[in-house]
Chain A
Amino acid sequence: MSATFLGMPGNFPQNAAEAVQNSQLRYNLRKATHTIRGKRANVVGELPDWQELRAAGKAIKDDTLRHLDRYLLQLEEAVTRAGGHVHWARDADEANRIVTRLVQATGESEVVKVKSMATQEIGLNEALAAHGITAYETDLAELIVQLGDDFPSHILVPAIHRNRAEIREIFLDKMRPVPADLTDEPRALAEAARLHLRERFLKSKVAVSGANFMIAETGTLVVLESEGNGRMCLTLPETLISVVGIEKLLPSWRDLEVFLQLLPRSSTGERMNPYTSMWTGSAEGQDFHLVLLDNGRTNVLADEVGRQALRCIRCSACLNVCPVYERAGGHAYGSVYPGPIGAILTPQLRGMSSDLDASLPYASSLCGACYEVCPVAIDIPEVLVDLRAKVRHAPAERVGMRVAGWILNDEVRLAKAQRLATRFRKVVPKRLPGPLSAWTDTRDLPEIPEESFRDWWERNERA
């Protein structure tokens, strides 16, 4: 995954503990997530067949994954026939080497980029920089992150943790040229980005993109966007290199009728995003390269429960409704994929050997709001619970849970434990020691009753 996130220290609870005390972050996230929740709910509510679309979306993706080999070959053939070039990358390094070689072959030392999760995941910008190639992010939020020397914190809106005043500060500080009288009006900030990138778009010879969908049947790639920076990158440069995860396939052209309804309404909460570009192979004489990326995806595919995470279309509806994400923010997840989907995707793609990655499956109260809004019905709580069973548990916790399991697996032992608790009910301290202090730091304990229900029943009801 992104070099910027590799070796991120800490773990989710520690990162989140810091984040929840950051008033600016909390305010920004609350405002943004609540805005988008309302918008999504409105446009989803407009469609009488949302659940049917969702069921179709889920099944189409499951079918794609079931026959991924066949569809990948079909795609390769169609793209090649339409004059494009297809490359295969087992992992991040291989993908970065392929893209670097392709850029070098053009003789250029600059590329413009459309926001792409896949290229963030493989740390492409850093890999290109190591070979003297500068990658310019052109999406407004990516630009804010890049100029602010910051990390992305959201799949769709990487600068969601910044408000308008902070964005103005970043622009005044780092953007050149920048209007001296720049205000924090969103319209003015967008205008500043337009001026800043205009020249670059018009003279760039090479662009790098991802894709939202690839159609196996026709070889068509699809990119949804809002600003027009995508169209600039996809159409103006002579060379276009698209790096796309192998799971981004859809079997047939017709399948777009489902996903072009599910994605915009789930992500930006619009009936349709401003611009969608579709091209097949070499369009209008462009030199087109498609890099198909595995990078751990086939491992995820091998997991019967976890593979449903590959249905994800990166809409970020799950982030926007997640009460944990809303309070912890995206950085706490230490990955380009934050939020509920990140909590199941990151540990599957990266493994769970680091402290951070092992903590991600627990970054959820299992409230189920994510599953409810997911346009492809990924049962995120189910995958979280499954990952929790695979993670290495801390020895002390393991002992505690085993003992609890032993007591609970016998009604006599349980009754004895309850009587023991009852006997000490008056001397339980208001603040508990050790790991249990995590409860009493912020909450009072309930009073332990004089007798358990089962003892009461035994005394009164059992004749």
Chain B
Amino acid sequence: MRVALFITCVNDTLFPGTGKAVVSLLRRLGCEVDFPAAQTCCGQMHVNTGYRDEGVRLARRFTEVFAGYEAVVAPSGSCAAMVREQYPKLVRQGSRGAAAIAEVAPKVYELSEFLLDVLKVDDVGAYFPHRVTYHPTCHSLRGLHLGDRPTRLLQNVRGLELVPLPAAEECCGFGGTFSVKNPAVSAAMGADKARSVLDTGAEVLCAADNSCLMHIGGTLSRQRTGVRVMHLAEILASTEEGGAQ
């Protein structure tokens, strides 16, 4: 199966390792991976901060770049939710833009959805001998309704000990520009999330969104907790022969 990788601007710029992990994982499962070079950003930051015009331009670019692909895989619940849930609200019903979105949006999958719902794989043959806890990020939980897909995948990783995160469904406080526009509340939420993570005794915090992990990880690091954060793709890409990177 030929799939387009939508890397997302945050992963592209700051977390290329996640992208490489997706590529190696999908290839291991027999997919042909394409990276349309004209892709940039889904526009979520602009739309959600109140810059709709800029956001709409980026959304239009997205629909053009990814038109025609059978499946588009994004290692980000938040960006996938942006395309599927928010794009339709940016355009007038019945417009050309609406038709373009209706064409592309249903083919955009968050990684765990693609693995379980399209490839029908729940054991990706990964090996990761560590104690891990999983944070279901808000947009993957309440936007995409990923449910237990990510944890089903993690449970089948050899060597991995999955421990439940207390108050898992509570937002970590990242919220995009919320993290700098309301830094006090964001930090307070981040501190509580970090405490929940520490309570699990896990050495790795995993999630399907690097932006949330950047916030929680930055908090854990500032507190010198010694807990590291990893994107779901990176754990799933790890094998006995070594990591994806």
Asked whether the complex places CB atoms of A and B closer than 8 A, the reply is yes
Residues of A near any B CB (own CB < 8 A): 12-13, 16-17, 20-21, 26, 323-324, 327-328, 361-369, 371-372, 382, 385, 387-391, 393, 401-402, 404-405, 408-411, 414, 418, 421, 435-436, 438-439, 441-446, 448-449, 451-454, 456-458, 461-462
Q: Please, how many angstroms separate the alpha-carbon atoms of A448 and B52 in the complex? A: 28
In the complex formed, the residue of B with least CB distance to A13 is B182
Q: Please, how many angstroms separate the alpha-carbon atoms of A382 and B89 in the complex? A: 9
Cross-chain contact of A401 among B41, B54, B175 (Cβ < 8 A): B54
Q: Please, how many angstroms separate the alpha-carbon atoms of A401 and B50 in the complex? A: 10
Residues of B near any A CB (own CB < 8 A): 7, 9, 11-17, 19-20, 23, 35, 37-41, 43, 45-52, 54-55, 57-58, 61, 86, 89, 138-139, 142-143, 169-171, 173-191, 214-215, 217-219, 221-222
Q: Which residues of A contact B19 (CB under 8 A)?
A: 453, 456-457
Q: Which residues of B contact A448 (CB under 8 A)?
A: 14
Q: Which residues of A contact B188 (CB under 8 A)?
A: 20, 26, 327
Q: Which residues of A contact B13 (CB under 8 A)?
A: 418, 421, 452-453
Q: How far is the CB of A338 from chain B (nearest CB, A)?
A: 13
Q: How far is the CB of B59 from chain A (nearest CB, A)?
A: 11
* Contact assessment for A323 and B58 in the assembled complex, using a CB-CB cutoff below 8 Å: no
Given contacts A362-B181, A409-B61, contact A323 B189 (CB under 8 A): yes
Given contacts A405-B57, A446-B15, contact A388 B183 (CB under 8 A): no
In the complex formed, the residue of B with least CB distance to A391 is B50
In the complex formed, the residue of A with least CB distance to B177 is A362
Given contacts A405-B58, A418-B12, A439-B180, contact A323 B214 (CB under 8 A): no
* Contact assessment for B35 and A454 in the assembled complex, using a CB-CB cutoff below 8 Å: yes
Cross-chain contact of A366 among B11, B55, B176 (Cβ < 8 A): B176
Given contacts A327-B185, A364-B175, A446-B214, contact A410 B50 (CB under 8 A): no
Q: Which residues of A contact B180 (CB under 8 A)?
A: 435-436, 438-439
* Contact assessment for A453 and B178 in the assembled complex, using a CB-CB cutoff below 8 Å: no
Q: Which residues of B contact A385 (CB under 8 A)?
A: 47-48, 50, 86
Q: Which 8 residue pairs across A and B have the least CB separation, nearest first?
A: A365-B175, A443-B218, A388-B50, A405-B54, A367-B171, A17-B184, A453-B16, A438-B183
* Contact assessment for A453 and B138 in the assembled complex, using a CB-CB cutoff below 8 Å: no
Q: How far is the CB of B51 from chain A (nearest CB, A)?
A: 5
Given contacts A17-B184, A368-B143, contact A444 B221 (CB under 8 A): yes
Q: Please, how many angstroms separate the alpha-carbon atoms of A363 and B185 in the complex? A: 9
Q: Which residues of B contact A324 (CB under 8 A)?
A: 182, 185, 189
Apart from A439-B180, A457-B35, what are 14 other A-B pairs with CB-CB below 8 Å? A324-B185, A363-B182, A364-B175, A365-B175, A366-B178, A371-B142, A387-B50, A389-B50, A405-B54, A405-B57, A408-B40, A441-B187, A453-B7, A456-B19
